[in-house]
Each structure stands twice: as C-alpha cells, then as structure tokens.
A and B are shown apart, each in its own frame.
Chain A
Amino acid sequence: MTDTVTESAERADLFAKFDPIIQTRETLLASGVEDPYNLVMEKVLSPTRAICNGRDTILLGTYNYMGMTFDPDVLDAGKQALADYGSGTTGSRVLNGTYQGHKECEDALKEFYGMDHAMVFSTGYQANLGIISTIAGKGDYVVIDIDSHASIYDGCAMGNAEIVPFRHNDIEALEKRLRRIPDGAGILVVLEGVYSMMGDVAPLKEMVAICKKYGAMVLVDEAHSMGFIGENGRGVCEEQGVIDDCDFIIGTFSKSVGTVGGFCVSNHPKFDIMRLVCRPYVFTASLPPSVVATAATSIRKLMHGANKRAHLWENSRTLHAGLLDLGFELGTQEPQSAIIAVIMPDLQQGAMMWEALLKEGLYVNLARPPATPANMTLLRCSLCAEHSAEEVQTILAMFERAGKAIGIIA
C-alpha cells in the first residue's frame, strides 16, 4: 500500500474535457446572438405555429411532417386513454407495463407495414440502441453508413460486434467491406431511408440487393420517411421496392406520428424473443397509455394520408426551388424528402442567420458539428403537410430578407 491520499491530492476535473465546447459556446453567445439551443415555446398554436421566446413563429424545424399533433381524433384517443388507464404504467413492458393500448399500437404497426411482428420501445433512440446492440454480438459485424444517426452509433458502441463504417451512400464502398468480412461471421447492415442532416435518401434498391448477395441482414431506419415516402407511407424501402428484403425497419413516433416512442417491425420468425433479451426494452418503463393511444390512432390515419403526402411534396418542391432561386446553397440538388438543409458558411454566420429568421418569425434547426457531416453548419428546415402554400411563400420571403441582411445571399 502507498501512503494515504492527502486531502489535496491532484485530480483531474472530470469536466475539463468539455472546455473546448464551453469555449465555442461562450464565444458565440458573447457576440450577442440569441442562444439557438435554449429556445422556449411558451404556447403551441398548431402543428405549424407557436409563440417562441415571445414571438408568433412559423415552425419549420419540428419533424412534425404530417401535422398529426393536433388531429382531433388523435387528441380524443389520448384523452380517453388518460381517463381510462391513468397517467403512466410505472413498469417495464415485460412486467406490469404492457396495457391493451400497447398491444393495439403494435397491431396498428403490423398493419401499417404489413409485417408479422412489431415491438414498441419508449423512444426511437432506444429502438436503435436495443436492436443493434442485442442482435449483433461478439464476432459479428455491423456495417454502417458514416453519416448514421447518433442512436445507431450508440447501439454499436453498446454492443460487442466489430463496427465497420463506409462512406456515405457509397454502394461500392459498402460492397467492398461486405466482401472482406470473414466467412461464417454474422453481418448486420444498418441503413437509413432519409438521412436527417442533409435530407438525402439512400440508394436502398442497390444497397439492399448487395446485402442479400453477401448474406447480410438489413436494418433500415425509416424515422424521417414514415407516413410520407412510399405509396403507403412505409418509407424509402417501399418507394424503391425493397421492403420485402429488409429484415428490420426501425422508426419513431416523434416525427410523422406526432408523439413519442420508437418501434421495430420484422418478419423474422424468432423476432419476439427480443422482448426478453433486449435490455433497452426490458429495463425501462413503457410508454404512458395516452401516448400509445395517440400513436395507434395516428398510425391508422397515416395509412390513408395520400392527399396530405401529396401536399407535403408540393411544399418541399416549392421551398427547395425557391431557396435555390434566392441563391442559397442546399444539401441536395433536388428535393428528396421533407427536409431541406441550407448550408451556412460557418457557425457564426449560421447562428446570425438563425437569429435573423427567428426575429422574422421563423423557427428552423441550427445544426452544427459534430452532428453534421463534413463539419458543416446547417439551417435545417423540415416541412409539414399543414404548411399552406401561402405560408411557404411567407417563409421564402423571410429567408430572402434575413439572408440579405446577414450577407449570405446577394
């Protein structure tokens, strides 16, 4: 044994590692801009409008694609469940936390996707975390796109498999890696239908075919396409005709569905064993009854949302074309989803533009490294089926005034 440790023993401050990000934040706020990560919505008026920091604001950064958050049928279902089943389950899905509503929500998902099994998680993050970390074990390989969402990376980090990244949406890079994986090892390829930072879609048709050629299982995260892309709103995998070859589809209730929660659907005959072995499913409380009731109602309505889908596409095309015309640099050359990413020269100008838009009465997301690809600063816009055509024109006028004032467009 060494000498007893004295009271003044030198220890590193565990928070020292955050100094660079504290510094960046302080520099930004010292310039006088409103804090982009401390916005408060005092009142929410509709899926597309709120009072933000005291101002009447058009919401263009909420992922509320189908505008279901104030749907009267959805609200009624939630109120009824709150009255009938109480405010929470206080338990795990595998113990006392599975109510009738959770089963009905899973039934709605099975019907929506036309799949045999559905499992509802408490968040979309936990769905990715749980499925990826559980099904890929030691000696297996998980192959992921380098621009994958944090929940996918965290699912990889939590498991024991070998993690192999490939260049974003690069079909050849994916195939090279699959070819090099040793015989006998299990492979899970994780792809996203829509990548949320740039709003671009994956070439799933080609990629899923390659995965099957090498005997890999495929998981597609369709968080940003559910309810909107594909004939029945099942996502990019439906749109590109490969849904039957996807082993797992992961999604969320916190976007088009309009509440919170996550899920995985699958046709794998043994899928239900996940309920016992998937720790982020087992060791957390299940969703409140009102939440699963609103989700189930919303999912069933989304099955018949063809008109809303068509209007959302119109909005996306109008905003994309309008922003290009104004001279903004966008993440994709054509509109591929309901997300349009406006590329900013740097964080400082991005934050100034974000603030100028907020003062105009428009909320968008300010996205910055490390969440963004290639260290870009983005103003990320996500459209809603409830934005009117006139609102999209109003939004474009706001972008024009703010962009000229900040000097991002001429």
Chain B
Amino acid sequence: MTEAEVDTRIRDLIKPFNKKEVEITDATTFQNDLEFDSLTVMDFVAEIEDEFDVIISMNQQAEIENYGQLVAAVHKLQDS
C-alpha cells in the first residue's frame, strides 16, 4: 500500500474520533488540536491496528505526535 493509500484509509478511520471536525493536515496534533484523551487514543490506535493488522506499541505511540507522523509510521509498519 502506498503512503497516499494509507493516508486515505486513516482519514476515514479518524472521522468518528474528530468530534469537533478539525481540519486534518500532516501537522495536526492528537493531543492539542484533536484533544484526544488516553481512552480515545487507545480506541483510535486499536482501529488502526485492526485495519492494517499491525501493532503500534506504546513506545511507538510516544514518538507520534501529529497526523503526518502517524501515516508515515503506519506505512512503514504495514510494509515490514
């Protein structure tokens, strides 16, 4: 899957979590812009893990602050 395809699918997955309909760019942060709390993060990560059949460990999650980093990380994970 190309990075653009990963991006398209994550954009769909994020919709139900994006309650305030914040415009999503690569620089959009989960904590500040989207205001995800820890429970939301867990549910959102679980959706992505199931969709791409990957594991995003808490160690990896700690490195991912914004949307662009997430797409890049998932692209890399599902390629490996």
A residues touching B (Cβ–Cβ < 8 Å)? 141, 146, 156, 162-167, 173, 176-177, 180-181, 370, 373-375
Contact = CB atoms under 8 A, between A and B. Distances in A.
DSSP majority for the A interface?
mixed
A382 to B, nearest CB: 25
Most B C-beta atoms less than 10 A away, residue of A141, A165, A167, A176: A165
Contact of A146 (B42, B50, B54, B59): B42
B39 A374 contact: yes
Contacts of A167: 42-43, 46
Contacts of A177: 49, 55
B57 interface: yes
Contacts of B57: 141, 162-164
Interface string B30-71: 000000011100110010011001110111100000000000
DSSP majority for the B interface?
helix
Nearest to B52: A180
A180 B53 contact: yes
Given A146-B42, A375-B39, A163 B50 contact: no
Nearest to A146: B42
Contacts of B39: 146, 373-375
A163 B49 contact: no
A180 B56 CA distance: 10
B20 to A, nearest CB: 18
Report the 6 A-B pairs with minimum CB-CB distance, sorted nearest first.
Answer: A162-B57, A163-B58, A180-B55, A164-B57, A146-B42, A162-B59
Contacts of B55: 162, 164, 177, 180-181
